[in-house]
Amino acid sequence: FPNLRVALKILLTLSVSIASCEQSFNKLKLFSTYLISTMGQNRLSDMVFLNVKREKFEFIHFNKIIDVF
């Protein structure tokens, strides 16, 4: 029965891992919802624009731009 014991350990560990992962995604969703609800209309529009045109903005190094300011 050693294989059964290993299988049970894996099964129990997997269920805990899945539960903690789902909990993390739920917290991320709540945080995302909070950010969107508190964001101004202009900023939200800009973020949607950046997401739609993301191919053009992929090669911009934002850290270099921030350093200039």
Q: Which residues are CB-neighbours of 47 under 8 A, at least 6 positions away?
A: 39
**Given CA atoms 41, 48, 58, 24 in this order, what sign does their dihedral have?**
positive
State mean pLDDT over 26-35: 75
Q: What is the DSSP string of 2-60?
A: HHHHHHHHHHHHHHHHHHHHHHHHHHHHHHHHHHHHHS-HHHHHHHHHHHHTHHHHTT-
Model confidence pTM above 0.75: no
19 band by pLDDT with thresholds 50, 70 and 90: low
**For the chain, what are the domain ranges?**
2-68
7 vs 16, residue with greater confidence: 7
State mean pLDDT over 38-56: 78
For the chain, report the end-to-end CA distance as a whole number of angstroms. 66
